[in-house]
Amino acid sequence: MDRPAPTPVSFQLGEIAVFRIKETLGKAFPPSFLLPDMDREVLREHAAWLVPSHYDPAADRFVMGTHSWVLRTSRHTILIDTCIGNQKHRPGRPGFNMLDLPYLQRLADVGLAVEDIDMVFCTHMHVDHVGWNTRLLDGRWVPTFPRAKYLYSRREFEWMKGNAERAPDSEDAALYNDSIGPIAAAGQAVIVDDGHEIEPGITLELAAGHTPGSMVMRVQSGQGRAALIGDICHHPLQVFYPDWNSGFCEDAQGARATRKRVLASVASDGGLLMPAHFGAPHAVRVKAKGDRFEIPF
Q: pLDDT of 16-30, one tens digit each? A: 999 999 999 999 999
Whether the pLDDT of residue 119 is over 60: the answer is yes
pTM for this model (two decimals): 0.95
Read off the pLDDT band of 290 (50, 70, 90): confident
Domain spans in the chain, listed from the N-terminal domain onward: 10-294
What Cα–Cα distance (Å) separates residue 35 from each residue in 81, 153, 233, 252, 284? 22, 26, 11, 12, 20
Read off the pLDDT band of 291 (50, 70, 90): confident
Q: What is the pLDDT of residue 297?
A: 86
Whether the pLDDT of residue 202 is over 90: the answer is yes
CATH code matching the domain that covers 10-294, chosen among 3.60.15.10, 3.40.50.720, 1.10.3720.10, 3.40.50.620 = 3.60.15.10
Read off the pLDDT band of 2 (50, 70, 90): very low
Q: pLDDT tens, 53-103?
A: 999 999 999 999 999 999 999 999 999 999 999 999 999 999 999 999 999
Sign of the torsion formed by the C-alpha atoms of 270, 276, 281 and 287: negative
What Cα–Cα distance (Å) separates residue 214 from each residue in 76, 86, 205, 260, 263? 22, 24, 9, 15, 15
